A and B are shown apart, each in its own frame.
Chain A
C-alpha cells in the first residue's frame, strides 16, 4: 500500500443523510425542544450548526463565546448565523476568565485554555436547561482519538454528530453543505488561545494524522505496518502514543467496583432504556 493512495473519501450525500437522521432521531426520542451548539466560527461547529438546522427545521440555538475580540472568529460565526438566519447569542468570556486567571494566578496556556473550554461548557449546558434543548457537540474523530480536547470541556455534549469523522472528512462534507469558503480554508484552531493552530500544536498535518489514525484504528494496522506504508517512524509512534494517552478522556470516570452491579461495569443499559 502506498501512503498517497490511502483514501478517506466517503459517499458524502449518504453520510449527510445518516447524520441528519441521527440528530433528528436523538432530539425526538427524548422530546427536546431543539439543540444548542457552541458556534466558534470554526469548521466543525459551522458544519454541525448547518446540519442540526436542517435536521431540526431551524430549532437550534447558537452560542458564541469568544475570549476577547477576535475579528475573524466573530466574522465567521456571524456569517454562519446569518446564513441560517438565526440570532447569535454572544457571551464574551474575557472579563470572567481574566478575573479567574488573575485571582488564581493562572499563566499556563494549557490551564487557561482548559478553563475557557469548561466555562463554555458550563454556559452551553445552562442554555440547554433554559431552552430544554440538547447540547449538540462538535468534536471530530481525529481530536477525540488523540485527546486534543478538554475533558468535560469542549468534548462534553449530549450527542456528537461528527464524532466518527476525521477532520479531513469533515472538511469534505463542509464543501457540500454550504459552509463558507473562508471557514473551510482557514487553519484549524481549537481557539484555546489567540493565534493557536491545531496542526502546529499537534506537530503533524491533519492529512497525515488522519491517515495514520485511519490505518491504526479503522484498519487495525500495527505500528510497523503503518511505517512500511511510508510514514515517518517517529510520527507514527507519536500518534499511537497520543491515542493511548487519550483513552481516559473517552470515558467519564471509573468507579471502584464493590457491589454486585456497578455503574459502567455490569449495570448495563443503553440510554434509550431510560426514555
Chain B
C-alpha cells in the first residue's frame, strides 16, 4: 500500500477554498499511485479558530464534505476539521474516508490548554482510541497532542494497530544551535513508538503561520524497525509518499516479539 502525506498550509477560515485545495492534492496523490492520502490537523479550516469554531464546525451530517467523500471512491483520505455533534458539542476531529464512507472518526482526546494553546476553551475532549481495518492493515488515529501521551499510543498498539496516523498542527518554539528542538522531540517519539510497538507511525504536520505562530512541517514516518522512512521539509508545503509493507511488520515481530510478552494486567489498578 502506498500512502501520501500532504503537508499543506490551510487557508485560514476558508472551508470552500480548502476543499478545493484538498481535491487538488488528492488528485496529485492519485496520479502518483497512492492508495491513501493523509492531511494534517484541522486541514479544512486552520487551527486557531477561537470564536469561528461554531461558524465553521462540520456535522453532524457532513454534507459539506461531499466532494471529498466522492473523491474517496478510489483513494482513502484522512482529513481533519472542527466537528459539531448532535448535542452541539465541538471536537477537533479527523476522519478516515474509504469508498465514500467514514470508516473511522477520531476526536482529539487531549486538546492542550497550556501556553499558546487554548483548545479546551472551544472543544470537548474525545473519549476513545479505536482500531479499525482499512482492508490492508489495522489502523489507529491520534491527533497531535494525543501522541505526546504514551498511554494513547499504547492503547492503540494493544488493540492491534499496525499503522498509527497522527494529523497534527505542531507549532515551532525554542530554536537552539542544532535547530528547532520540537523536531528532535517528535522524531525521537515517532521512532520510539514505531520500534517498540512494531508498527508504522506517521506524524503529519502542517506549515504556515497563524497570527505569528509558525507550524513547522517536518512530517515524519517511521517503520516497524524504528527507521525514519520519510522525513519531509521544514516550513514549506510538500507531498511525499511512503510504502506500507506487511512483511516488514511481521519480520520485526518475528525478530523481537514484544507483543507476545505484553502483560496488560499490569495497567490495571491494585
A residues apposed to B, CB below 8 Å: 7, 9-11, 14-15, 17-18, 21-22, 25-26, 159, 218, 267-273, 275
Contacts and interface: CB of A to CB of B under 8 A. Distances in A.
B209 A273 contact: no
A18 B172 contact: yes
A122 B163 CA distance: 57
Contacts of A218: 174
A10 B177 contact: yes
B209 A270 contact: no
Given A17-B235, A22-B214, A25-B208, A273 B12 contact: yes
Nearest to A17: B235
Contacts of A26: 209
Contact of A11 (B12, B48, B179, B210): B179
Listed residue (A9, A18, A267, A273) with the most chain B CB atoms within 10 angstroms of its CB? A273
A10 B176 CA distance: 4
9 contacts: A9-B176, A10-B175, A14-B175, A14-B180, A18-B175, A22-B212, A269-B50, A270-B48, A270-B211
Instruction: Among A15, A17, A25, find the residue whose CB has the most chain B CB atoms closer than 10 A.
Output: A25
Given A17-B235, A18-B235, A273 B175 contact: no
B17 to A, nearest CB: 11
A245 B163 CA distance: 52
B18 to A, nearest CB: 13
Contact of A272 (B13, B176, B178): B13
B32 to A, nearest CB: 26
B52 interface: yes
Given A7-B177, A11-B178, A21-B235, A272 B214 contact: no
Given A9-B177, A11-B175, A272 B234 contact: no
A24 to B, nearest CB: 10
B135 interface: no
Interface residues of B, number: 23
A272 B12 contact: yes
A21 B209 contact: yes
A186 B142 CA distance: 52
Given A9-B176, A268-B51, A270-B48, A14 B234 contact: yes
B167 to A, nearest CB: 20
Contact of B51 (A7, A9, A21, A269): A269
Contacts of B210: 270, 272
Nearest to B175: A10
A11 B177 contact: yes
Interface in B176-191: 176-180
A7 B270 CA distance: 46
Nearest to B53: A268
A235 to B, nearest CB: 25
Interface string B145-188: 00000000000000000000000000010111111100000000
Given A14-B234, A272-B48, 16 more contacts: A9-B176, A9-B177, A11-B175, A11-B176, A18-B175, A18-B214, A21-B209, A26-B209, A268-B50, A269-B51, A270-B48, A270-B210, A273-B12, A273-B13, A273-B50, A275-B13
Interface in B3-33: 12-13
Contacts of B82: none
B52 A269 contact: yes
Contacts of B224: none
Nearest to A9: B177
Contacts of B46: 272
A138 B189 CA distance: 37
Nearest to B214: A18
A269 B270 CA distance: 47
A271 B46 CA distance: 13
A25 B209 CA distance: 7
A249 to B, nearest CB: 17
Contacts of B13: 272-273, 275
Contacts of A271: 211
A10 to B, nearest CB: 5
B235 A270 contact: no
Most buried by A among B46, B52, B209: B209
Contacts of B178: 11
Interface string B43-56: 00010101110000
A273 B48 CA distance: 9
